[in-house]
Structure 1
Amino acid sequence: MLPESEINRVLVVSAHPDDADFGSAGTIALFADRGVEVTYLLVTDGDAGGNERTLDNSGMAELRRTEQLAAAKAVGVSDVRFLGYSDGQVTPTLELRRDIARVIRQVKPDLVITHHPDRNYQFVAPSHPDHRAVGGAALDAVYPDARNPYAFPELLKDEGLEAWTVREVWLNGGPTPDHWVDITASMDRKLAALQSHVSQVAHVEGFADFVKSRFGAWAEQAGFGEGHYAEGFQVVPTA
């Protein structure tokens, strides 16, 4: 794994508003605490989500973008970008790979955090088809697209974006996490980020207790013990 001291820029690639907050907001808050530059890249605006049916899709998209900006602020992230793909219809196309590779070359991250591209049969919620499509496209954008100067030559020729090699990828939501981060110190900020997504969670009774229970159970699985909270990832070296 990359030494913590060598992680200076992180790109989080997610399908919808709130995905980064469920998957890695505690870890991101800890990165931000030590001065790591973090960028959020959201493939969709989440216009097909939420329980507020008085809004049309454009209204929901605007609301969810606003919620995501507030959630990012809660964990110290100010660089939030949206690609505007249609919620619920994402596929790992060449266009999506190019769009993610573009941001990788712009941001030059040491680490990319994204969705696991495989279906999790132990816990199905992370396996939304958009999540799997975005995870697969992000991995393809990391290797080989972003590092290959001959891939999507328009990025270099027309936009001046030199090839960039991401050194490591962390996948969340998969069935076989092998790296756990103790987020006890940042759990309050993770919860604040999640509660910023009012359109998604305000109707859930006991939401805070549910979140604490889930991430507390993962801390016990990780061996951190009672009273701790953890986020889990599968680490993918890219060398």
Structure 2
Amino acid sequence: MILTDQGEIEAPARAMVIVAHPDDIDFGMAGTVAALTAVGCHVAYCLATSGDAGGDDLEHTSEELAALRQAEQTAAAARVGVSELHWLGHPDGMVVADLGLRRDIARVIRIVRPDVVICQTTIPDWDRIYISHPDHLATATAALAAVYPDSRNPRTFPELLDEGHQPHTVEELWLIGTEPNRYIDITDTFDAKVAALREHRSQTEHMENLDGRLREWSTETARSGGFADGRLAEAFRVVPAA
């Protein structure tokens, strides 16, 4: 069971997180991932890019940066109980919600066979431009299409059948960044979230008071969800998908 603003709910048996970049998960939903894995849910990650454009230091090649950021994300995933990561290799900063990305995500859905898919929103946030990175929006758009109809329809991308990947129907979508209708208590897993983010040294070492900023955001979210003072939360829009 996991604690939400609506009381305790049964955790899914299997979940899959789909995002654009390394560290997107850990800023957005790593507390929830840790809460899920703590009660036995198997969680897998699917990342559209390897973060090869995520740095201003041109002394490193894009390939070197991609290898570094994959290693950071792998270490961060371990902090919250995740060991299965799928890298799609699309170019960082140039992700397009085309049929190729839809097929690649649908393939991973058919491999992982999750009950729940957790992803970013397709809707820009005009108050917080970082949330509205075009890669985030494109990856989310492709993820939604991969959930419905691509991963469940045997006639979509028949080459996936040739590869041995049978259709799979996802039960629910949990989206971050848009009109939440479920708040998940991460008070007990907040430290794991912070530890995961600290593994992304190339992205977070320069940030002052990272713990404090995360705690402030999580406190505001918990307050919006009606939790008692001192609780911490992450927020999602839950959409039935079956």
| Most deviating of 43-52 and 13-22 | 43-52
Determine the structure 2 residue equivalent to 1:200.
203
| Most deviating of 188-197 and 208-217 | 208-217
In 2, the alpha carbon distance for the partners of 1:197 and 1:171 equals 23
In 2, the alpha carbon distance for the partners of 1:87 and 1:224 equals 37
CA shift in 2, pair 1:52/1:206, >3 Å: farther
Determine the structure 2 residue equivalent to 1:187.
190
Question: Residue 221 in 1 paired to residue 215 in 2?
Answer: no
CA shift in 2, pair 1:207/1:145, >3 Å: same
Identical positions, percent: 48
Letter of the structure 1 residue corresponding to residue 106 of structure 2: A
In 2, the alpha carbon distance for the partners of 1:33 and 1:62 equals 28
Determine the structure 1 residue equivalent to 2:176.
172
Determine the structure 2 residue equivalent to 1:95.
100
Q: Tell whether the 8 Å contact from 2:182 to 2:236 is kept in structure 1 after alignment.
A: yes
Structure 2: where are the runs of 5+ without partners? 1-5
Q: Tell whether the 8 Å contact from 1:10 to 1:110 is kept in structure 2 after alignment.
A: yes
After TM superposition, give the deviation of residue 121 of structure 1 in Å.
2.1
1:23-64: CA deviations, max 9, x gaps?
Answer: 110001011011111100111000111354421211111110
Determine the structure 2 residue equivalent to 1:32.
37
In 1, the alpha carbon distance for the partners of 2:87 and 2:123 equals 23
In 1, the alpha carbon distance for the partners of 2:61 and 2:79 equals 27
Q: Tell whether the 8 Å contact from 1:51 to 1:200 is kept in structure 2 after alignment.
A: no
In 1, the alpha carbon distance for the partners of 2:158 and 2:98 equals 17
In 1, the alpha carbon distance for the partners of 2:44 and 2:20 equals 14
Choose which of 49, 53, 74 in structure 2 pairs with 1:48: 53
TM-score (norm 1): 0.95
1:145-199: CA deviations, max 9, x gaps?
Answer: 001010001111x21111100000001122x111110100000000000111000
Choose which of 163, 166, 170 in structure 2 pairs with 1:162: 166
After TM superposition, give the deviation of residue 81 of structure 1 in Å.
1.3
**Secondary structure at the counterpart of residue 149 of structure 1:** coil
After TM superposition, give the deviation of residue 140 of structure 1 in Å.
0.1
CA RMSD of aligned residues (A): 1.4
Determine the structure 1 residue equivalent to 2:239.
236
In 1, the alpha carbon distance for the partners of 2:82 and 2:9 equals 18
Q: Tell whether the 8 Å contact from 1:127 to 1:173 is kept in structure 2 after alignment.
A: no
TM-score (norm 2): 0.94
In 2, the alpha carbon distance for the partners of 1:221 and 1:54 equals 43
Question: Residue 137 in 1 paired to residue 142 in 2?
Answer: yes
Instruction: Within 5 Å, give how 1:45-124 maps onto structure 2.
Output: 45-124=50-129
In 2, the alpha carbon distance for the partners of 1:168 and 1:186 equals 23
